[in-house]
Amino acid sequence: MANQKQESMSFREGVERMVDRATLAAGLDTNTARVIKASSAVLQIRFPVKVHSGVEVFTGWWSVHSTHRLPAKGGLRFAPHVNQDETEALSALMSYKCALADIPFGGAKGGLMINPSHYNEDELRDITRHFAQELARRGFLDPATNVPAPDMGTSAREMSWIADTYKSLYPEDINQDACVTGKPVNRGGIPGRTEATGKGVQYALQEFFRHPDEVAKTGLSDGLTDKRVVIQGLGNVGYHAAKFLSEEDNVKIVAVIERDGVVYNEEGLNIHDVRQCMVEQGGLRDFTGGQFSENHHEALEMECDILIPAALESQIHADNAMRIQAKLIVEAANGPVTYEADEILRRRGIVMLPDVWVNAGGVTVSYFEWSRNLSHMRFGRLQRRFDELRGANYLRALEDVSGQEVPAKIRSQIVHGASELDLVRSGLDDTMRSAFSDIRDTIKHNPEIHDYRTAAFVIAIRKLAQSYYDLGLAEVRE
Ligand code: NAD
């Protein structure tokens, strides 16, 4: 895989080492950590589908890492490099992410070994429906137990095919919409889910920059404005993170790294135009608003304030970690920094905001969508007009007492009843802020813990351990 070097351990082993490190730092019971690390189940499926070239046999996995809370939740990845180790590693990260973000789900992950660009839409629909059928028949697709969501190579389109497949198999299930999240809004989805992970990356960075004592650790000046940002991967997560950060926080996206190369512009790239070029041309080579180079490996190492890897795992590894010049790494992708690179970067004093916090926005809004599907009612339906009426009464009273008219902008804010998107964004922002507050508290109260990743893992492990203690499983010996 591009830019991935042979590490001495696999992705899954790297995640387990991170758990071991956190267990040691917090003085947690190593036997409990062993129970927590073990995957609950891994299903491998092979199924034939007739496509343009004839009948092809596809291989896919669904890994359930933890079931202490149900359903087990995780993204479904369609990519040629998908394998069991990767799927297990990603399902474990989901368990820790949900625990950190206080989301009552177990961790899971799905993967299908496929290059989606080799198939037309009809074929992809067929392949996705077959995969969904195989998962459902074996009890690995169900609103109560296993609920996929979009990930690399999948989107609302694939989620709606999966929902449709489940509905045709189980038409009597009144909660059928909740079998998958990230659906289109008009098919049981929720406003704000498509961009949720990128929006969450923005909220994480905004929250980090609210704390000058934390920012000081990076050597960066206060405030996000004019920070020079390099971003790898302009897919769902990368595009939305870059769009919100450049449009609303005035950061300068000086480089975008994609599969075919990198585009630079020291004045800041227009993210909308870069994305348009990718959609229309299939890559960055013909982009006219910046300088193009094929050398995307070295681009990760360019001097910048903030590096946002938003493509795939193991992009910063033992071989290039010494050359990374960013002062702050914001892990929008899952596992973009290997365990070995993490050790090197920590020794070099480069600050990392870990994936289990930074990209938790996706599963957070998936949780809102799943809850909405089970309640069969959109958020805010009962109180929106009531809130507007109360705001209008409050405004009238204010103007009567003061004898002054409230300016139009404030007036509209006071009488505004929250839309469903307002509520989703508010819940997402609150989740990102609360998780960082817990991370800061953990560092404050544990002198052995100095970095955000270890702190995040300690919080997650403690919560998981509590569930296992409650079940009596913490005393399990192998
Ligand atoms: P995506 O498929 O929409 O986008 C991935 C982008 O990365 C694509 O534009 C692709 O061309 C690019 N890319 C692939 N290989 C690359 C390489 N070697 N160098 C540079 N660019 C490369 O996927 P996504 O949903 O945006 O997911 C990106 C990452 O975020 C993954 O690690 C995923 O697990 C993680 N994530 C996604 C979500 C979500 O809601 N989609 C949630 C949490 C975490």
pLDDT tens per residue, range 156-179 = 999 999 999 999 999 999 999 999
- The protein residue with its alpha carbon nearest to ligand 1, atom 14, reads 311
Structure tokens at 35: 């129970």
Are 364 and 196 contacting, i.e. CB atoms less than 8 angstroms apart? yes
C-alpha distance from residue 224 to each of 182, 249, 331 (Å)? 30, 6, 17
pLDDT value at residue 7: 65
Q: Which of 37, 109, 243, 463 is catalytic?
A: 109
pLDDT value at residue 477: 40
- The protein residue with its alpha carbon nearest to ligand 1, atom 32, reads 333
Residue 235 Cα: closest atom of ligand 1: 4
Q: Is 94 in the pocket of ligand 1 (CB under 6 A)?
A: no
User: How many angstroms is it from 226 CA to the middle of ligand 1?
Assistant: 25
Beta bridge partners of 330: 353
Q: What predicted TM-score, i.e. pTM, was given to this entire model?
A: 0.96
pLDDT tens per residue, range 199-234 = 999 999 999 999 999 999 999 999 999 999 999 999
- The protein residue with its alpha carbon nearest to ligand 1, atom 40, reads 362
Identify whether 50 is a catalytic site residue: no
pLDDT tens per residue, range 414-471 = 999 999 999 999 999 999 999 999 999 999 999 999 999 999 999 999 999 988 877 7
Element containing residue 329 per DSSP (H, E) = strand 328-330
473 pLDDT band, cuts 50/70/90, is low
Mutate to test the pocket of ligand 1, among 197, 314, 366 (most ligand atoms within 8 A of CB): 197
- The protein residue with its alpha carbon nearest to ligand 1, atom 23, reads 152
406 pLDDT band, cuts 50/70/90, is very high
Are 334 and 355 contacting, i.e. CB atoms less than 8 angstroms apart? yes
- Whether 3 has a pLDDT exceeding 80, the answer reads no
Mutate to test the pocket of ligand 1, among 151, 154, 292 (most ligand atoms within 8 A of CB): 151
Q: What DSSP letter does each residue of 71-129 carry, written as one string?
A: SEEEEEEEETT--HHHHHHHHHHHHHHHHHTT---EEEEEEEE--GGGS-HHHHHHHHH
Q: What strands lie across the sheet with 261-264, from one edge to the other?
A: 291-293, 261-264, 252-258, 228-232, 306-309, 328-330, 351-353
pLDDT value at residue 40: 82
pLDDT value at residue 478: 32
- As a whole number, mean pLDDT of residues 180-197 equals 98
List where CATH 3.40.50.10860 sits in the chain.
44-187
Q: Is 230 in the pocket of ligand 1 (CB under 6 A)?
A: no
Are 476 and 31 contacting, i.e. CB atoms less than 8 angstroms apart? yes
- Whether 357 has a pLDDT exceeding 50, the answer reads yes
pLDDT value at residue 151: 97
pLDDT value at residue 333: 98
Record: fold of 196-358: Rossmann fold (3.40.50)
pLDDT value at residue 1: 43
pLDDT value at residue 467: 86
List where CATH 3.40.50.720 sits in the chain.
196-358
- pLDDT-above-70 percentage for the chain: 97
- The protein residue with its alpha carbon nearest to ligand 1, atom 8, reads 235
**Residue 232 CA, distance from chain mean position:** 15
Are 164 and 188 contacting, i.e. CB atoms less than 8 angstroms apart? no
6 pLDDT band, cuts 50/70/90, is low
Q: Is 333 in the pocket of ligand 1 (CB under 6 A)?
A: yes
Q: Is 151 in the pocket of ligand 1 (CB under 6 A)?
A: yes
pLDDT tens per residue, range 49-105 = 999 999 999 999 999 999 999 999 999 999 999 999 999 999 999 999 999 999 999
The whole-chain average pLDDT of the chain stands at 95
pLDDT tens per residue, range 290-302 = 999 999 889 999 9
User: How many angstroms is it from 151 CA to the middle of ligand 1?
Assistant: 7
Pairing between β-strand 328-330 and β-strand 351-353 as defined by DSSP bridges: parallel
pLDDT value at residue 476: 40
pLDDT tens per residue, range 241-279 = 999 999 999 999 999 999 999 999 999 999 999 999 999
Q: In whole angstroms, what is the distance from residue 424 CA to residue 427 CA?
A: 5
Question: How many CA atoms lie less than 13 Å away from 449 in the CB half-sphere?
Answer: 25
Q: In whole angstroms, what is the distance from residue 451 CA to residue 375 CA?
A: 39
- As a whole number, mean pLDDT of residues 334-338 equals 98
pLDDT value at residue 417: 96
Bigger pLDDT: 31 or 477?
Answer: 31
pLDDT value at residue 5: 54
pLDDT tens per residue, range 36-61 = 998 789 999 999 999 999 999 999 99
C-alpha distance from residue 168 to each of 91, 141, 165 (Å)? 27, 13, 5
Residue 366 Cα: closest atom of ligand 1: 40
Please, which residues have CB within 8 angstroms of residue 452's CB and are 6 or more apart in sequence?
351, 352, 353, 354, 357, 439, 443
Mutate to test the pocket of ligand 1, among 76, 87, 152, 355 (most ligand atoms within 8 A of CB): 152
User: How many angstroms is it from 213 CA to the middle of ligand 1?
Assistant: 31
Q: In whole angstroms, what is the distance from residue 310 CA to residue 256 CA?
A: 10
Record: fold of 44-187: Rossmann fold (3.40.50)
Alpha helices in 26-77 (DSSP H): 30-37
pLDDT value at residue 291: 97
- pLDDT-above-90 percentage for the chain: 91
Report the amino acid identity of residue 267: E
- As a whole number, mean pLDDT of residues 187-202 equals 98
Q: In whole angstroms, what is the distance from residue 366 CA to residue 181 CA?
A: 6
Are 218 and 327 contacting, i.e. CB atoms less than 8 angstroms apart? yes
